[in-house]
Amino acid sequence: MKTRIVADLSALPLHGEGSTSLTWWGTLAFMLIEGTGFALAIATYLYLASIAPAWPLNAELPDLWPGLAVTAVLLLSVIPNLLLSRWAGAQDLRKVRIGIVVMSLLGIVPLVLRVFEFRALNTSWDSNAYGSVVWLLLGLHTTHLITDLGDTLVLAAVMFTRHGDNKRRYGDVQDNALYWNFVVLTWLPVWACLYLGARL
């Protein structure tokens, strides 16, 4: 069998940036799937609230302060996250290293606060439908915080090795920053359900 070369692609770059990267498309698909999961969980919350004789069911209202503290940290984290994405786009290794360490720390803080937030729900996961759905919502978002923190810590470790100053790694940092924005954005409707929905 004779091989026929159709085109010489050796001059093309090995890795793309943004929407020219397969990793970017994978991250976007993951966010769409997970966003659907959040939408279904919120729809479940709203459905249960609409058919319940009283909401919350046999529980005190959740305490606002832990949820507000998590929200404040997440919203403030958007600023260094956007800077980190910009620095990765400029391939500034020194600034990316600083930014990824800052984002690693900002990924840990909401998880510490989340421990207090679970307690502040004033219900257990197995008490009734209300307890189950609010623990589901908070647990779902906590899973995303843990997932992104793990990814950020791995990227931080890589950026401090000889493999850090690599175009592909900068793209990975940008994709991770995109996912963090998704984690922050999805928290807002979850927070509204947990804390405002119970007070309406």
Q: Tell the residue number behind the tokens 């923190």, with chain if given.
A: 149
Does the pTM exceed 0.75? Answer: yes
pLDDT digits (tens, 9 = 90+) for 146-158: 999 999 999 999 9
Structure tokens at 171: 């793209």
pLDDT above 90: percentage of residues in the chain: 72
| Model pLDDT, residue 15 | 62
Please give the full DSSP string across the chain, using - where no structure is assigned: ---------TTS-SS--GGGSHHHHHHHHHHHHHHHHHHHHHHHHHHHHHHSSSSSTTSPPPPHHHHHHHHHHHHHHHHHHHHHHHHHHTT-HHHHHHHHHHHHHHHHHHHHHHHHHHHHT-S-TTSSHHHHHHHHHHHHHHHHHHHHHHHHHHHHHHHTSTTSSSHHHHHHHHHHHHHHHHHHHHHHHHHIIIIIGGG-
pLDDT value for 141: 97
How do residues 51-108 score in pLDDT, each as one tens digit?
988 888 888 889 999 999 999 999 999 999 999 999 999 999 999 999 999 999 999 9
Domains of the chain (ranges; CATH) run 63-199 (1.20.120.80)
